[in-house]
Structure 1
Amino acid sequence: MNVYSIARSQYYRGVDAEPIQANRPFVAGDTHNLDHARANNHLEAKTMQTIIEAVLQAGRSAVDIALYTLLPIMLVMMVLMRFLHGAGVIDRAVRIMEPALSPFGLNGLSVLVMIQISLVSFAAPLPTLTLMEDRGTSNRRLAAALAAVLAMAPANATFPMAAIGVNAGLTVLLSVIGGLVASSCCFYVFGRKLSADPLEPNAIEKRATTKPSILKTIEIGGSEAMLVVLRVIPMLLLSLFVVYSAQSAGVINILKTVLAPLFSFLGLSTDLILPIITKYLAGSTALVGLYTDLDRSGTVSSILTSDSTIGFLLHPFDLPGIAILLSAGPRIARCALPALVSALVGIGIRSALGFVVA
C-alpha cells in the first residue's frame, strides 16, 4: 500500500480512526469503509442536487407566476381602482354598501374584494386589499376582509371546473355565505382583540387623493402594482420550494399510503386523497389541472364533483394562495392569524352546506 493509498484510506475512515500502518497487511474492511464513504458522498451530492433543482424550479415558477400572471392583473386592476378612486366612484360605493356589510365586520370596499375573487380570480382582490390598507382601514376590518377572501371560491377554478360537472352557480352562492361567515367570525371572535380604529392614509394614498393627471394616476397605480408583485415573489418562491421538495422526496406518495387507511376508517373515499394533497400543497390551479387530467381519463368520480367536496377544495387557503394574499401589505400579513382560523370556519360551513343541499 503506497502513501497515497494510506492517505485516502485514512481520510475515508475519519480523522479519529486508528492510523493504517504501511506494513500492516491489507484487510477486507478497508475496502468496505472506502465503499461506504463513497456511498455517503454520493448520497450527499444527490441530496444537494435535488435541493438546488427544487430551488431553481421554484424560482422559475415564482417569477413566471408573478410577472406573467399576477403583474398584468395587478397593474390593470390597480390603475382602474385609482381612476375610480379619483372620480369618487369608490367613495360613493363605500357609503352605499357599508351599512349592509358592517354587521359582517366588512366595509364598503370589502364587497369589491368578494366580487373580484368570485368573478375574476384569486389574485384579483390584491389591489383592493392593498387599497384598503393604504386608505387606513382598521386592522380588524382588514383581517375580516382577508378571512372572507380565503374562504371563497376563486373564479379561475370555479368556472373551468364547471365543464367537468361542478355546479358553478351553487358554488358561488355557498362561497359568498362561507365568506360572510368567515368575516363575521374574524371580526367578532378570533380577531376581536385587533384594533378597530382607522389609521391615517399612507403616503401613496395621500398622493392619489390629490387628483393627479391621467399619466400620474397610471404611474401611481403601476408602481403600487409592481411593489405588491415584488413582495409576492419571496413568499411564493418559498411555498413552491416546499411543494417541489415534497414531490422530489416522495412525500406525496408517502402521504397517499399513510392516509388511505385513515380515510377508509372514516368512511371517506380514497379518491379524495390526491386532490386534497394537490390542492393544499400546490393550489387551485394545480387542482384544476388534476381534475382536467382525471376527466380526460374518465376517472372523475361523483364524490370529486359533489358540492361538499368542492366547498372543501375550492378556495385560496393553500400554500401559494396564502403566500400571495399576505403580500398585499405589511398590516395584512400581521393580521393573518385570526383571518386564517376564521377562514377555516367559513370553509367548513361551505362544505357542510354542500353536503346538506346535495
Structure 2
Amino acid sequence: MDVISIILTSGRSAVELALFVLLPVMVIMLSIMRLLEAAGVMDWVVARLAPVLKPLGLTGLSLFALLQVNFVSFAAPLATLTTMERKGASDRHLAATLAMIFAMGQANVVFPLTAIGLKLGEFVILSILGGLIASVATYYVIGRRLSCDGNAVDSPLAHPTIDDPKGILAIINHAGSEAFRISIGAIPLVALSLVAVTIIKDLGVFGWFETLLTPLLNALHIDPILIVPSFTKYLAGGTALLGVMVELQHGGHIDSHLVNLSAGWLVHTLDLVGIAILISAGPRVARVWKPAALGALVGIFARTAGHIILN
C-alpha cells in the first residue's frame, strides 16, 4: 500500500471538490439567501408560515432553521438553535426543531450533488416533508415527556438590510466570504475521510462487509456499492460523503438513478459530525439530542421511502 500516493490523491480530490464543485454552488446560493434576508423576504415568509407550522411543534425560528439547512448548509442552523435556547424555547420545541434539522438534507451537499444527477426539486420537497414528519414524531410521541415550559420564539434573527449604508455589494461580498470559509473548511475533513476510506478499502474491510452483507442487500434489492458511502456518511459526515459519491460517479460505479434512489438514506445531517456540531449550540440543545435523533430517524425513513417510490 502506497500511503503517500493515497494522501496526495485524496488531497487533490478534496481540493478539486471544494474549489470547483462546492465553492461555486455555495457562493450563488448564499448570495441569494443573504439578499432575500436583506430584502425582508425571509422574515415575511417566517411571519406568514410560523402560525401554520405551530401545530407541528415548530416556532418562527424553527422555520428559519428549516430554510437555512435546505438552502445554506448543515451548520447554518447552529446560530438559530443558540438563539432559541437563549430566548427560552421549551425543551420540547428544541427537540422537535433539532429532529427536523437532523432529518433534512443539507444544502452544502445537495446542490453539488445536482452536478451528478440529483433531482433538486424532488429532493427539497421530500427533505422538507421528512423534516416536518420528524418534528411531529418528536413533539407528539418521542419527546412528549419533555418540558413544554418556555417562551414562544417567533421573532426574526438580526441581519443586514438592503437599506444599510454598505448596500447590496457588501452583502454579496460577505456571502462570498462565508461560502469560501465553508468550502475551504471542508477540505481537511474530506481529505482525511478519503484517505481513511481508501486505506480501509485497500485493507479489504469494505470487501469483507460487502461479502457479508451482499446476500441480505440483494434480498432487499439494495446495491452493495452503497456500503462505502453509507459508512463514510455516518462516520465522517455529509461533506465526506460528497467526496466519495463524486469519486464513485467519476469511476462509473454509480449513476444518477442510484444517486436519487439513495438520497433519502444518505443525505441528511444525522451523523457523528452533524450531531457533534449541532449540539454545541447550547446545554439544553445537547440534552435533547437523543429524542431528536430518534424522531429524525422517522423522518429519514419517510424520506427514504419517498425516494424509492419516486425513482
Q: What's the offset of the Cα at 1:252?
A: 4.5
User: Sequence identity, in percent?
Assistant: 47
1:286 paired residue among 240, 247, 260: 240
Q: What's the offset of the Cα at 1:197?
A: 0.9
Give the letter for the 2:124 counterpart: V
Q: What's the offset of the Cα at 1:95?
A: 5.4
> Is residue 138 of structure 2 the alignment partner of residue 179 of structure 1?
no
Taking the aligned partners of 1:316 and 1:99, their CA distance within structure 2 comes to 26
> Is residue 276 of structure 2 the alignment partner of residue 276 of structure 1?
no
Q: Deviations over 1:247-289 (max 9, x none)?
A: 6687545433322232123332212211211111111111111
Residue pairs, 1:147-226, within 5 angstroms: 147-198=99-150
Give the letter for the 2:239 counterpart: T
Q: What's the offset of the Cα at 1:245?
A: 11
Taking the aligned partners of 2:67 and 2:43, their CA distance within structure 1 comes to 17
Contact kept, 8 Å, 1:97 with 1:107, in 2: the verdict is: no
Q: Report the equivalent of 2:268.
A: 315
> Is residue 194 of structure 2 the alignment partner of residue 262 of structure 1?
no
* 1:273 counterpart SS class: helix
Residue pairs, 1:14-33, within 5 angstroms: none
Q: Give structure 1 stretches of 5+ with no counterpart.
A: 1-68, 70-75, 202-207, 209-236
Q: 1:244 to 1:299 in 2, by over 3 A?
A: closer
Q: Report the equivalent of 1:305.
A: 259
Q: What's the offset of the Cα at 1:290?
A: 1.0
Q: What's the offset of the Cα at 1:147?
A: 0.4
Q: Report the equivalent of 1:123.
A: 75
2:285 paired residue among 306, 327, 332: 332
Q: Report the equivalent of 2:14.
A: none
Q: 1:162 to 1:264 in 2, by over 3 A?
A: same
Taking the aligned partners of 1:330 and 1:356, their CA distance within structure 2 comes to 39
Q: Report the equivalent of 2:65.
A: 113
Residue pairs, 1:53-72, within 5 angstroms: none
Give the letter for the 1:163 counterpart: A
Contact kept, 8 Å, 1:152 with 1:315, in 2: the verdict is: yes
Taking the aligned partners of 1:299 and 1:89, their CA distance within structure 2 comes to 42
Contact kept, 8 Å, 1:93 with 1:108, in 2: the verdict is: no
Q: What's the offset of the Cα at 1:165?
A: 0.6
Taking the aligned partners of 1:196 and 1:264, their CA distance within structure 2 comes to 45
Contact kept, 8 Å, 2:57 with 2:136, in 1: the verdict is: yes
Provide the aligned length of Structure 1 versus Structure 2.
243
Larger Rg: 1
Taking the aligned partners of 1:330 and 1:246, their CA distance within structure 2 comes to 37
Contact kept, 8 Å, 1:271 with 1:304, in 2: the verdict is: no
Residue pairs, 1:60-99, within 5 angstroms: 96-99=48-51
Contact kept, 8 Å, 1:105 with 1:184, in 2: the verdict is: yes
TM-score (norm 1): 0.60
Q: Report the equivalent of 2:94.
A: 142
